[in-house]
Every structure is written in structure tokens, then in C-alpha cells.
Structure 1
Amino acid sequence: MVEGYSIDTGEKRTFGTLDYVLFSLMFCASALIGFYHAYRDRNKKNAEDFHLGGRKMHPIPVSLSLSATFLSSLTLLGTPSEVYTNGTMYIWIIVAMLIATAAATHLFMPVFYKLNKTSCFQYLEMRFGKLTRVVASIVFLLQTFVYMGFVLYAPSLAFEAVTGISLWGCMIGAAAVCTIYTTFGGMKTVLWTDSLQFTIMIVGLLAVLIEGAQINGGFEKAWNIADENRRVKFDDASFDPKTRHSVWTLGIGGVFFWLYLYGVNQAQIQRACSLPTLKRAQIALWLNFPGLVLIVTLTVFIGIVMFAFYSECHPVAAGLITRNDQLLPLFVMDILGRVPGLAGVFIASVFSGGLSTISSGLNAMSAVLLEDFIKPFCCKSVVEKHAILLSKILVFVIGIVQFGIAVIISQFKGLILQFSYSMYSITAGPIFGLFVSGMIFPWTNKYGAVTGFVLSTAFMCWLGVGTIIEKPSGYVPLPTSTTSCNWTALRDDSPTTMAATTIQSVVTTLSNTVTTTEEPMLHDFYRMSYLWYTGLGMIICVFIALVVSFCTGYTKPKSLDSRLMCPMFDIMFPCLPEGIRKPLRFGVVYDKDEKYALEDANVNGKESYGTDSNVDEEKNNASLVNDDLNKQSVRL
């Protein structure tokens, strides 16, 4: 736990009354939004209103929600520590975000939106059958539970660091508030609280950056100090997949991770489908990108000024903190603790990032459990009034379970940004591979899809667990200094300080020692950058799915419902001659309006998807579900 002693004066700084007031206001405002929408929608009895906001949301709150959800408290706490420890290469992730946003907006989103489903896994049943849908849904639920545990733990760690309040107490409070307002308000509450929380995140980050730069004598001076200590670097273009952060691992490997999040992730699909038209959904996705750039840039710059401030006295070595995850909270108390209220604003911003992600996960898992498990297996004829009640009960139960997972995660040590990315990517790759196999490769059949997904998941779990157990050497963080530590002010007689000093000395010695011990060849594989995990899992899944499909009797492209396929080359290269584009459709016969899938249009035939027509949507959607499942069962 952070003791709260300033690195320069030894003065103890803690939360003041104003800090607690401003911090509490964020929780109260989020809860009030939930109660407001619960009261306003008290007469609505449709589960679609709870999970999709009645499909009447505006692009701006949806875009802000997307930015706040996928750049959570892990980003706010993890990225500055990443820059402090390893330098500025991480900013190349913005390139991956741009590519992923474009691909998700124009390739994947039109397919999901026109199908008009609440759960994205309903697509898998239409394409590959019920077994694939169930297996993928289970893996998604496990993945989201673990990730939400990380997200709940991160801001609680920060709050413990600056207040001394128990980590468990912090997590209980955050989990309770988030679960309550999500249970009462549903998707509308999630979107509007996310918008509020995004604003708080930006205000908190700006406060830290501006005050941190001022204390360092200006941002230019802080940049120069970081540059002199090898923290400023943008040109590592190594092709070695073992390179932790390079232009290629971040700019290309990161694309797969972010394309999973923005292309086929349930939380994102629900947000996009909460908008009344496909065009507005695509606008929301593009509007979200500047928010991503802003948050990543601010956190990287905060890492620069934070390193400049501690460049001559590493807080872990000084005994002020015990792990790098606590660097930013300590920095905040050092620079903002002098001004009443500012520390409270920043901690509120960190919790805002966490609450936005948790509320999105709660709503998404509630939708998946209801649509993919309860309705198909338990309550096939459940009425809408009971469906809403079930959804709220599910949110409450999920909130309790994810708190337990967060308690377990709190026992781990290391950089939370890398560890959370690694754990999430292990399952993200296989799930992403399933959707790619279905939308891009028409030959994939149900046997290939299930086999590819199971084997890919097993392989990625082996890789992730093996890396954790073996812990192969090779990664060494950039050096730090303790030349100007005020050891008297830092209570050099305390056991914590002496132990930290000893540990730091041992680590420094070991990192400077050239090891000659032979390691198993497998360790080179374990050293692969965590940013390649999603791409590797996706490729393995698609490859095995295609091989098994051709061995067991591949699907005839002409027999497929073209609404389930993505005409990728028509969308990416619309100016190519028809003679070239036709073979690139792989034999799938697309209707004219489906082929381009770039704007809302009525599909030729009996049915309409994602349009602005005045047709009764509830009756239309009910008939679509039955028609789609009947067609698919006949075809398979």
C-alpha cells in the first residue's frame, strides 16, 4: 500500500474532505442516472428496451460510451506505468485502433445490424448451428468475467493507494454502485453514465498532465528528461514477434485485438444496435475514434511527466510503493495532493473508466445469458415482462460473481495492462476466428467451426498458462535511478524501505548479469509479445475450420443466406471492375442491397432489416427469428 509520503519532502498527503466529496458525487450522479431511467421507463415491458435502449439512442452518447468502455481504468492506470517502465512505443496502438475502427464499421457492423439480433452469438447459430453458439457464448462469459475482475480491481487499487481504505472495501463499494444502477436502468443508463464518466476521465487526465508538466518546469523539459533516459522512442521496427512493443506488434498485432473488440464483441454490438439506423451506428463508431486517440495520448504524456518527476528516485526502490501499478496514484498525490479536490477528481476519473466497462459487461452478459441460454433451453415462451425481470436478476447475480473474481485477481502482481490484455486475448482470438470463418469464408461448415474453435482455444490456453508458469527470461524493463532519494524523509529505517531496497538491488544485479544457462527451445515461443495472441488464435481457428470443413464436406457458397456473409472485396474495392470482384465473392450470391452493405436499404424480397420504415418492428423481428432458424435447420 502507498504510504502517502512525498518523494521530494517526505510530507504525508492523503485525501481531504473536498476530495471525498467530489469523488462521491461521481458515484451519486451515476446512481441517479440509473434511477431516473428506471422511473422514466417503468411502464416499458420489452426486453429490447433494457438491452438495446429501444433502438432509439443518439450517436453521441453511444460513441462516448464506446470510448469509455474499451479504454477503461486499466488504460488510465496501466499506460502511464507502461511508458514509465518501457517507453513511448505503446502510442503506436492508435494505428491499430484506426484500422480496427474502419474494418469494424464497414465490414462487420452491417452484417450484425441488418440481422437485428440482441446477441451477436445468434449469428453463429444461423451460420453453424446451436452447438457453436453455445460453446462460444460460454467462452465469452468466462472471458468477460475475468476481464471485469481486472477492471474492478484496478481503480480499487488506486483508491487504496491514496486513501488507505481497504482494497476489499473499495471493490465492494464500486461493484455495488455499478450493479445497482445497471440493474435498474439497463442500456440507457449504461450509455448516459458512460458519457458522464468519459467527461470525468478527460478532466482528471488533463488535471494530472497540466499540473505534472508545470511541476517539472514545462512539458518540454519533462520530455527531454525522459528522452535522455531512453523513454522516448517511436522507431522500433523489429520484425521479431518476441519484441514486446514494436511498430509491427502494436500497429498490426494490435489490430486483431481491437478488431475483436469493435467488430464482434457483444458489448459493442449492443451499442451499435441501440441506434435507429445503420448509418447512425457507423457514425457513432467513427465518432468514437477521436475519443480513443485523446485518452491514449493523454495517458502516454502523463507517463512522460511522471517519469521526469521520479527520474532520480524510483518510488519502488525508495520503498514508497511496492509495485509499478501504484506509480500513478502516488504521482497524483504528490502533485495534486497540494490542491484540495484535484486528487478526488482524478480518482473519480479512474473509477469512471472502471464503472463504464463493468456496467457494459453486466448488460452484455445479461443479454447473452437470456438470449443464448434461458430462452432457448429453459423458457422458450417467456413473456417480455418476465424477460425484463430475468435480465435484472441476471445483472445482480453477475455483479456478485465478478466481485469474487476481482478478489482473486487482486492476489496477482505485475503490470496490470499487459496481464489483462494477455488473459483477454487468449479467448478473443478463437471467438474472433469463428466470426471470420463464418462471414468471410463461405466454405466453412459447422464441424470445421466447432473443431477450429475448440482446438484454437485449447492451444491459446496452453500458451498463456505456459508463459505464466515458465516465465521465460528475456524481458528487462528500462533502468531506473535512486541517486537523489531522500532516504531520511522516506523513513529508511522502515522494514518496507529496507526490503524494497534489497529487492531492487537484487533485481538490478540479475538484470545486468548475462545468463549462460541453456533454456528449452519452447521458451522462445513463450516470449511472443502478448499483442500477437488474438491474431494467432484467430488464424489457428480459421485454418483448422477450413481444413476440417473441406475434409467433411464443405458448405456450398450458393446455398448460403447472403445476409450472413460479408462482401469484403466489394466494400474495400468498389471501383474494381465487376469481372474482378465477382470471383472474389467466392460463389456467394448477394442481393444488390446486401452486396455493398454501406447504408440502410430494404432487402429485396419479403423482409426488411435495419431500415427506417414504419413497419411494426416487434412483429417483424419475431418472425425473422423463426424464419432464420427454420431456413438454417433445413440447410444444415
Structure 2
Amino acid sequence: MFSSVDFVLFGLFLLLSLLVGLYQNLFSFFCTQNSGGNHPKRTATSDFLDGGRQLPVLPVCLSLLTTFVSGIGLLSVPAEIYSRGSAMALFNLCGTLAFPVIGFFFIPVFFKLKFLNAYEYFEHRFQSPSMRRLATLVFIMNTLFYMAVVVYAPAIALAGVTSLRLWPFILLVGVVSTVYTAAGGIKAVIWTDTVQAGFIYAGLCIIILRGTAQAGGLGKVLAVSEQTGRLWAAFRVHPSLLQYNNVWVATLGGLLQWTCIYGLNQMAMQRYCSMPSLRHARVVLSLTIPANLVIQLMIGYIGLLMVAYFDKCNPLALAEVKTVDQVTILMASRIFEGVPGLPGMFLATIFRGLEEPFARRGGSTFGGENDGEGEAAAELRPLDKKHQKLLPLATEEAADCE
């Protein structure tokens, strides 16, 4: 899948991330030295953690967006839609509804107090340093488990479909991310996120454009998705909240989860508090709304594209991949086949998703599990509209995917 051109492109991507961190480190050092001797230590600390509360709006917006777009989101959300339908896309799109709530109720409280982290609020609110330490400990434990999942799981998927070795890849991610984050602080993270956001949008656009053309066009993608029940699976109205997924689970669950993530998470709060004023912080949130809509729609569409791309040809049944999470990579490898540089772009896109936990959390289970029912069926099975289970088709013969 990968040629020398792809690895050169990927290497340049890594080098760019490192250079951003080193540049911000040197820039902050000279600014501190030229500050006239007025509390240089405090200035350096503030500059490292919140950029002196003078960071520009657009880079912070892109950083806020990409902070919670992990390799799992880029690989397993399309796989989840491919196997179970579009409910996960609706779940993620409900994050848009959370932004107004956060802007009016959460940000004013934290911004007015001018804390450097969210845990200072616990000490201030309950007059108890122990509450702050407890909240910090819980976040650290959450971070360790989160990093293990979002780094190891996509790395396994990549290693299973490509020739990349697993542990060197993970080690490379950790070293590069740790170095540029430790060197440049929040400024390095913000500007690296800005560059990486461009890689994400470009990589997703290339997959969508080339994949749609190879699958037979937009009309076929939508038609096959509708025939198999994937397209409208998100809008099944059922009173039970105990189903695997329906419109109520997706909307209410998505709204509550994304409100907690973007409203209370330390990584998001650090970005809000790096802005000069409350108005600037709300502008960041306002700009994140369309940016989030676009990227979530793109990720969701890739899931529907996979349904049409592998129409009547289930790569799981043909043992081309071991798990449904690898289907996304398999499709991308075929889309990019024979075009030097594009696989490197895809690798850089996924790398940004793997890099995120180290860079953001250093300073869900893998979606779309295979049901195990009727695995011999080569065609993609339609969804039972009532229970959203995969039903076997009449044919049990494997089709040729080539």
C-alpha cells in the first residue's frame, strides 16, 4: 500500500509537528527574556498553559474541533455505520446542539474565575483542596484508559491491513507528540492542531471524492444505503431507551455526552480560557459549530460509502479483514492504490487521530463489533428495522471483491 513517496510525506508531517513545538519553545523563551524582568517565571508558566490568554480565534477553533477527533472516530464510526446504520452519525451530530448550552451556561462561569484548569473550580466551590486532588486523580485515570484505547486500537487496525509494525508505530506517535507538546506548550498544540486539521479535511475529501466515483456515484451510494437500511437507521422512533440505538438514544445521549466533553473536559476548558475575553471564547464555539457539522457529516458519509463500495461483497465473510474496524482501512487502501502520496496523506490523517491523546491528554470501545451472525454471507445484510440486527440474505455464496 505504501511507497517511498508516502513515507517521505509522512516523515515531513512528523517533522512539521516537531518544528512547530521547537519554534514555540524558542519564541516563548525570547519573549520571557524580553519581558523586562516582571515575574518571568509566572509569565513563562502562563504562556505554557494558556498562551498568555492571547491566542487567535481560528487556530483555537480548529484545535477544539480536532482535540476530540481520534483515530477511533476516523476509523470505527464509518465501520459502525457500515455494520449497524447511521445512528452513530446522528449521535455525533448532536454535539452541535451542545455548543449553545456550553456557551451560555458553562463558559461564563469558568472564564470569569480565570482558572488555569477545571479542577480549581472544585477547590473554589467546596473550599476543599481534597476535592481538587480527587477530581485531578479521576481525570488522570480516565486519561490513562482513554489513551490506551484510542492509540492501541487504531494502531492494531492499521497494522492488520498494512505492512506497518505495531509497537514502533505507537512509540513513534508517543515520542513525537510528547516532544512537541513539552517543548511548546499550549501554543505548539494549538498550531499543530491547525496544520493537522488541514490534513484531516484533505484526507477525508480525497476518500469521499475518489471513493464515490469508484463506487458508482452519489446516487448509487444513497440507493444502496437505503436498500440495506443503513441510511435511515438513525431515525427509527421507538419508545424504548434500551435498544442498541435509535433516535432517542442518539439525540439525548449525544447531547449529554458532548455537553460534558466540550463543557467540562479540561482539554476544552483550557482552550476557552486561553482566549482574551468571554466574547472571543463564544466566537470560538460559534465557529466550531459549522466545522463540527462538516467533519461529522464527512465521517458519516464515508460509512455509507463503504456500504456501496462493498455492495454484495462482505470483506469480513471473505476473510480479507479480521474485524469490521479494518474495513475502513481496506477501502482507503483500494481507493488510493496506484496513486503515490495519497496513502501517505491517509496515514498522516490517521496519525493525527492517534497523536491527539498524547498531545492533549499528556499536557468507547472500538465501534462496530461484528455480530457473529451468518458470517458466511458475502453480501452486506439489511437491517431489521425493529431491532436493528443484521439479517442474512438468501444467498450464502461468497462474491469476488475484485
TM-score of the aligned structures, taking structure 1 as reference length: 0.56
- Counterpart among 336, 357, 366 of residue 416 in structure 1: 366
Map of 1:63-142 to 2, 5 A cutoff? Answer: 63-128=61-126, 129-142=128-141
Contact 1:159 1:165 in 2 (8 A): yes
Structure 1 equivalent of residue 11 of structure 2: 24
Deviation at 1:163, TM superposition (A): 3.1
Q: Within 1, Cα distance between the matches of 2:396 and 2:11? A: 37
Q: Within 1, Cα distance between the matches of 2:154 and 2:54? A: 32
The answer to whether structure 1 residue 485 and structure 2 residue 365 are counterparts is no
State the one-letter code of the partner of 1:180: V
State the one-letter code of the partner of 1:41: S
Structure 1 equivalent of residue 150 of structure 2: 151
**1:12-34: per-residue Cα shift (whole Å, max 9, x none)?**
xx211111122222111111101
Contact 1:86 1:231 in 2 (8 A): yes
Contact 2:96 2:293 in 1 (8 A): no
The answer to whether structure 1 residue 359 and structure 2 residue 359 are counterparts is yes
Structure 2 equivalent of residue 172 of structure 1: 171
Structure 1 residues 177 and 482: alpha-carbon distance in aligned structure 2, compared to 1, 3 A threshold: farther
Deviation at 1:291, TM superposition (A): 1.6
Structure 1 equivalent of residue 380 of structure 2: none
Structure 1 residues 108 and 52: alpha-carbon distance in aligned structure 2, compared to 1, 3 A threshold: same
Map of 1:510-521 to 2, 5 A cutoff? Answer: none
Deviation at 1:131, TM superposition (A): 2.3
Q: Within 1, Cα distance between the matches of 2:15 and 2:285? A: 29
Question: What secondary structure sits across from 1:41 in the alignment?
Answer: helix
**1:423-474: per-residue Cα shift (whole Å, max 9, x none)?**
xxxxxxxxxxxxxxxxxxxxxxxxxxxxxxxxxxxxxxxxxxxxxxxxxxx8
Question: What secondary structure sits across from 1:317 in the alignment?
Answer: coil
Deviation at 1:99, TM superposition (A): 2.2
Q: Within 2, Cα distance between the matches of 1:203 and 1:226? A: 24
State the one-letter code of the partner of 2:366: I
Structure 2 equivalent of residue 5 of structure 1: none
State the one-letter code of the partner of 1:148: M
Q: Within 2, Cα distance between the matches of 1:338 and 1:268? A: 40
Structure 1 residues 482 and 83: alpha-carbon distance in aligned structure 2, compared to 1, 3 A threshold: farther
Contact 1:68 1:357 in 2 (8 A): no
Contact 1:325 1:415 in 2 (8 A): no
Structure 1 equivalent of residue 35 of structure 2: none
State the one-letter code of the partner of 1:244: Y
Contact 1:159 1:170 in 2 (8 A): no
Rg: which structure is higher? 1
Question: What secondary structure sits across from 1:356 in the alignment?
Answer: helix
**Can you give the 5+ residue segments of structure 1 that lack an aligned partner in the other structure?**
1-13, 364-413, 420-473, 490-636
Q: Within 2, Cα distance between the matches of 1:268 and 1:175? A: 21
Q: Within 2, Cα distance between the matches of 1:116 and 1:418? A: 41
Structure 1 equivalent of residue 373 of structure 2: none
Structure 2 equivalent of residue 290 of structure 1: 290
**1:216-238: per-residue Cα shift (whole Å, max 9, x none)?**
11021122112111211142122
**Can you give the 5+ residue segments of structure 2 that lack an aligned partner in the other structure?**
33-40, 370-386
Contact 1:312 1:482 in 2 (8 A): no
Aligned CA RMSD, in angstroms, stands at: 2.1
The answer to whether structure 1 residue 193 and structure 2 residue 180 are counterparts is no
Structure 1 residues 175 and 353: alpha-carbon distance in aligned structure 2, compared to 1, 3 A threshold: same
**1:524-557: per-residue Cα shift (whole Å, max 9, x none)?**
xxxxxxxxxxxxxxxxxxxxxxxxxxxxxxxxxx
**1:163-186: per-residue Cα shift (whole Å, max 9, x none)?**
322211111111111111111010
Q: Within 1, Cα distance between the matches of 2:214 and 2:69? A: 27
Map of 1:407-486 to 2, 5 A cutoff? Answer: 416-417=366-367, 476-477=389-390, 479=392, 483-486=397-400
Q: Within 2, Cα distance between the matches of 1:83 and 1:483? A: 24
Deviation at 1:478, TM superposition (A): 5.7
